[in-house]
Amino acid sequence: MGKPHIMILAGEASGDAHAAEFVGQIRQICPLVHISGMGSKEMKKSGVDVFFDSSIIAVMGIIEVLKRWGDIKRAMAIVRQTMEQTRPDLLILVDYPEFNLKMARHARTLGIKVLFYISPQVWAWRPKRIHKIGRLIDHMAVIFKFEESYYQAANIPVSFVGHPLLDKVVATIPADQMRQQLGLDTIQPVVGLFPGSRDSEIERILPLMLETAASMLSRTPEIRFVMPVASSLDYDAVERLCKQSSVDIVLTRGDIYSLIPCCKAIISCSGTVTLEIALLSVPMCIIYKMSWLSYQIMSRLITIPYVGLANIVVNQSIVREFLQGNATVANISAEIFRLLEDSDYRNTMIQNLHLVRENLGEGAGSKKMAKLVLSFLKD
């Protein structure tokens, strides 16, 4: 009997990173397992045999997906063909549901077991699709405690493994030392610009962030701005965009968890990064922009009042969100100035951010996921 073979499909930077985390844990427990998949830099670093680079198809929004539809179809064809040729013992789907559920259907026809990690947001939109999901997978592994009850109610096998970020989000360098490394004054207020990890987010969100930064500087010239550049992005392209603005921005591609505490406030895209910021107790606001048509469609489908995960996991508005038409320079800059200048408002938000940690489990999420994966191989 040959080595057990796991195939992992991760379509975005966050899924690539989460997959790499549990792959590392699998390697410690069962080093001989063969792992292949669709992913990007982090999965490659963890030793996964990546046969398709997912950074090519990491887009969000209906119009944005249509623009990349040729690449997405090519990825689907490659995944199907590789599945047929290699017949893995287990297929693990990481988030990216529209793509991954199609691959789950194909795996079903081949008799391959399917484990889905990081649930589609059935609690946010199209809740009835949970029944379709249940027909296509063998097991769901969720990272938010509140998700477990959705699958239990639908009689779908589910495990709450906890959020992998709980163990990962740690600042390894003191804030003052990190500021010095970046050439930042320890007294000047520092504001973070966190535009996201997708090219489509850079296209829609970064120009607004740069315009907001320029406006804030015209009022308070001593503010400094920092921006992490995700590994999935072209650093030189982001740098060119920043240089075209009138704002001096410190770009970094290093330790984001040591960068976050350097900031007194952060302007962030929605998504996983809002949890990372919350876990490090830094006040923020969230902005979200899509193409007009994508937003018109999505806004009619979404059934919850928030888009930022920091708000979703605690089911209350602890961080201001500025969506689409409300994502303006005036609104965003006013909120950031309030966070910088109103100590009571700032401290209240920091206290509320502590609730996020309480709702993400007890830690060791990647290790629990690895053990769940290996239990399927034993079966």
Per residue in 281-302, pLDDT (tens digit) is 999 999 988 776 776 766 666 6
Residue 337 has pLDDT above 80, yes or no: yes
CB neighbourhood size of 21 (10 A): 19
Confidence band for 217, pLDDT divided at 50, 70 and 90: very high
**Residue 46: which of 33, 30, 59, 27 has the closest Cα?**
27
Q: Judge whether 124 and 302 are in contact, CB under 8 Å.
A: yes
Per residue in 110-121, pLDDT (tens digit) is 999 999 999 998
The DSSP code for 72 is: H
Identify any residues that bridge with 93 across adjacent strands, giving them in sequence order.
9, 116
Angle ∠(242,323,206) on CA atoms, nearest 5? 10
**Residue 39: which of 25, 60, 23 has the closest Cα?**
23
Q: Can you give the pLDDT at residue 64?
A: 64
- Between 23 and 165, whose confidence is greater? 23
Instruction: Report domain 5-163+362-378's class.
Output: alpha beta
Q: Fill in the amino acid letter for 199.
A: D
Instruction: Give me the numbers of helices (H) and strands (E) for the chain, helices first please.
Output: 18, 13
Q: Can you give the pLDDT at residue 62?
A: 62
Q: Can you give the pLDDT at residue 177?
A: 93
**Has domain 175-358 been given CATH number 3.40.50.2000?**
yes
Q: Can you give the pLDDT at residue 324?
A: 85
Sheet order of strands, 224-228 included: 249-252, 224-228, 190-194, 265-269, 284-288, 321-323
Confidence band for 6, pLDDT divided at 50, 70 and 90: very high
The DSSP code for 99 is: H
**Residue 249: which of 295, 212, 197 has the closest Cα?**
212
Q: Judge whether 216 and 191 are in contact, CB under 8 Å.
A: yes
Distances (CA, A) of 255 to 14, 39, 181, 260, 302: 15, 21, 11, 9, 34
CA dihedral 59, 61, 63, 68 (to 10 degrees): 20
Per residue in 24-39, pLDDT (tens digit) is 999 999 999 999 999 9
- Between 44 and 233, whose confidence is greater? 44
Between CA 237 and CA 253 the distance in angstroms is 13
What are the phi and psi torsion angles at 305 (to 5°)? -85, 0
Residue 379 has pLDDT above 60, yes or no: no
Residue 232 has pLDDT above 90, yes or no: no
Per residue in 304-330, pLDDT (tens digit) is 678 888 998 888 999 999 998 899 999
Between CA 42 and CA 295 the distance in angstroms is 31
Q: Where do the structural domains in the chain lie, given as residue ranges?
A: 5-163+362-378, 175-358
Between CA 343 and CA 341 the distance in angstroms is 6
- Between 370 and 168, whose confidence is greater? 370
Q: Judge whether 16 and 42 are in contact, CB under 8 Å.
A: yes
Burial class (CB in 10 A: 0-12, 13-18, 19+), 181: middle
Confidence band for 186, pLDDT divided at 50, 70 and 90: confident
Average pLDDT over residues 171-199: 91
Q: Judge whether 230 and 150 are in contact, CB under 8 Å.
A: no
- Between 174 and 56, whose confidence is greater? 174
Between CA 40 and CA 16 the distance in angstroms is 6
The three-class DSSP label of residue 37 is strand
Average pLDDT over residues 73-98: 96
Mean pLDDT, the chain, integer: 91
Average pLDDT over residues 157-170: 91
Residue 146 has pLDDT above 90, yes or no: no
Radius of gyration (Cα) for the chain, nearest Å?
Answer: 21
Q: Which residues contact 48 (CB under 8 A, 6 or more apart)?
A: 8, 19, 20, 23, 35, 36, 37, 39
Q: Can you give the pLDDT at residue 133?
A: 96
How would DSSP label each residue in 186-205?
SSS-EEEEE--SSHHHHHHH
CA dihedral 235, 236, 241, 244 (to 10 degrees): 140
Average pLDDT over residues 248-265: 94
* pTM passes above 0.85: no
Residue 55 has pLDDT above 70, yes or no: yes
